[in-house]
Amino acid sequence: AQTVTQSQPEMSVQEAETVTLSCTYDTSENNYYLFWYKQPPSRQMILVIRQEAYKQQNATENRFSVNFQKAAKSFSLKISDSQLGDTAMYFCAFMKPRAGNNRKLIWGLGTSLAVNP
């Protein structure tokens, strides 16, 4: 069974600084997807970034980028130029993309990020 581990329950960063959130996972699959979602306080889950395991190039979305190390089963999220609006719970999630099958997301416990002014 797949598992996702986020080893940092809480982190903080100063506004405009850079922070990296870690995520490791365990799977025997070769092809899969990894996601980072953010959940601001009392607001809905929002997709931050997505990575396909077959792609060697790390995904980037504006200030958000990942460091995907497939052999190490590591998928960290880097947030550059942190903004107050980045304050949220960040979840790492794993998906097996088998055609026609349940593609439920398997989630880590989350990392609570506080961006301080």
Partner 1 sequence: DTGVSQNPRHKITKRGQNVTFRCDPISEHNRLYWYRQTLGQGPEFLTYFQNEAQLEKSRLLSDRFSAERPKGSFSTLEIQRTEQGDSAMYLCASSLEVRSQETQYFGPGTRLLVL
Helices (H) and strands (E) in the chain, counts: 0, 12
Q: In the complex with partner 1, which residue's Cβ is closer, 47 or 84? A: 47
Nearest to 97, CA basis, from 31, 47, 34: 31
Please identify which residue in the block is written with the tokens 């979305």. Answer: 61
74-100 in b/e form (b: 16+ CB < 10 A) is ebbbebeebeeebbbbbbbbbbbeeee
Q: In the complex with partner 1, which residue's Cβ is closer, 18 or 104? A: 104
> What pairs with residue 64 in β-bridges?
61, 79
* Contact residues: partner 1, CB under 8 A: 4, 33, 35, 37, 43-47, 50, 52, 91, 93, 95, 97-99, 102-110
Nearest approach in angstroms of CB 115 to partner 1 is 20
Nearest approach in angstroms of CB 117 to partner 1 is 26
Nearest approach in angstroms of CB 26 to partner 1 is 15
Q: In the complex with partner 1, which residue's Cβ is closer, 85 or 117? A: 85
Nearest approach in angstroms of CB 82 to partner 1 is 23
